[in-house]
Amino acid sequence: MAKVIMIQGTMSGAGKSLLVAGLCRIFRQDGYRVAPFKSQNMALNSYITGEGLEMGRAQVMQAEAAGIEPLVCMNPILLKPTSHTGSQVIVNGEVRGNLSARDYFAHKTELIPDIKAAFRKLETYADIIVIEGAGSPAEINLKQNDIVNMGMAAMVDAPVLLVGDIDRGGVFAQLLGTLMLLTEEERERVKGLIINKFRGDSTILDPGIQMLTERGQVPVLGTVPYMELTLEDEDSLTDRFDAKHVGKIDLAVIHYPRISNFTDFDVFEQMPEVSVRYVTNVRELGKPDLIFLPGSKNTMGDLKWMRQNGLEAAVKRAAGKVPIFGICGGYQMLGCEIADPDSVEEGGQIRGMELLPVRTVLQKEKHRCQTTGRLETVEGIFSGLTGCEFTGYEIHMGQTVYCGEDGSVAGTVDKAARPANGAENVVSDSTGRIYGSYIHGLFDKGEIAGRMIQTLAGEKGIILEGGVWEDYRTIKERQYDQLADTLREYLRMEEIYGMLREARIL
């Protein structure tokens, strides 16, 4: 049986995901087979495994840190919000349907067998499993029949490390208040406290740490400094949406209400002199060098939102002058029409932006697969991408076909492997400045992102000082090592290993 340890937080955004990733990298470096686990994740950033199943991106990031292939058993329940009060419920990678928050809360204990089965499967791959909680274990309205925090810890008899975020302030109240709201049995599970995201001289915290230890009767295992990492975070709490800086090369991502899989653009954030701005209105759009339309959990609704606030008109005015690239739902929006005969989203049909000669019909069955290939004969402004290899995945609810007069397309990927009438990969319009693709992760591998930025720099007649950019996966590997080195320095790892030696599985 695998040894287990669980990271819980005093609130959402306390840093649980990165701490789990860091511990996974440390255990891997020390020679153990390690895997992450989160019983329930709520996110619009998702991933398709080699099994063709859907899971949250946070556990994919943690699996990368652990050096293993992402498996859906690492995240058996994924909730993808479709509105303010409802979500699509995905269990072990398959869609179970849409439920309101109230209905899901009433029936979530029925998923405990699925959680246990996924955990038992994961045990066959790992010596150590690092479990991540969600939000706070002290949310009174959510504690009944909990399956993701203390309820999950009880299922597998896991010791718990409780993390507080000092960057937001009030960390001592966070940690002590959380302990006070736990039951006696739950408090006994908490074996250590961690103060996260500290800036400055940590010795000034000594009086507070002494008080925490005395009143909480739980040792503080470390004060972790604020780290300037660009690894993926929980999509609902990311601060990247607030970035306003305009670089020498400026990329604008349309930030509609149900934006999803915006991890597609993380690679560009690693590049010096390149800015990635998420814009919600015409005023914020400005004059970017490239406009991205990202994925969406409600494509028709988000297209209507763009139409109502003027962003659709602004993007169409920019067409022909500024390259526009749509991914997944953004790709569907760029077409002539989106039809929804089965009411997968909103029903009926809606005119698209009419910038690409394609038409999409939404379907009940979700298309999920990993895909690899080589870009062939890409024309237009990004013709320099021709020949580049890519690795990514597709996840969408629609089938897209050409609707042009002659059915021609300027650029395509693995054309021979696709149906003659299918517009499944990279396509462009006749001007070669409007592009669409269903492939998430298209820009991550090799030279694709770098060539795109160099092309945009050439269009502006400027030279970038950044030079040759690395493969994004190489950058992430270096950051995982940096994360592990920092945690080794600031956490009492010998005590954490002691907890693992004592841990038992029921």
Q: Which residues belong to the active site?
A: 328, 440
If DSSP codes are grouped into helix, strand and coil, which group holds residue 321? coil
Residue 185: which H helix or E strand, with range?
helix 184-189
If DSSP codes are grouped into helix, strand and coil, which group holds residue 200? coil
d(CA 211, CA 185): 22
Cα–Cα nearest to 293, from 273, 275, 269, 319: 319
| Neighbouring C-beta atoms of residue 468, cutoff 10 Å | 7
Residue 192: which H helix or E strand, with range?
strand 190-198
Structure tokens at 242: 């607030």
Structure tokens at 487: 């945690």
d(CA 1, CA 129): 10
d(CA 59, CA 74): 7
On the 0-12 / 13-18 / 19+ scale of CB atoms within 10 A, 199 is: exposed
Residue 368: which H helix or E strand, with range?
strand 358-376
Query: Rounded to 5 degrees, what are φ and ψ at 418?
Result: -110, 155
Query: Rounded to 5 degrees, what are φ and ψ at 212?
Result: -60, -45
d(CA 85, CA 269): 32
| Neighbouring C-beta atoms of residue 318, cutoff 10 Å | 18
d(CA 477, CA 205): 32
Structure tokens at 216: 């909480």
On the 0-12 / 13-18 / 19+ scale of CB atoms within 10 A, 316 is: middle
Q: At a CB cut-off of 8 Å and minimum separation 6, what does 409 contact? A: 357, 402, 423, 427, 428
What's the Cα-to-Cα distance from 421 to each of 266, 271, 334, 366, 405, rounded to whole Å?
A: 32, 37, 18, 19, 13
Q: Which amino acid does the sequence have at 89? A: V
Q: Which bin fits 227, alpha (ψ -120 to 50), beta or left (φ > 0)?
A: beta
Q: Tell me the CA end-to-end span of the chain in Å, nearest whole number.
A: 10
CB distance 22 to 483 below 8 Å: yes
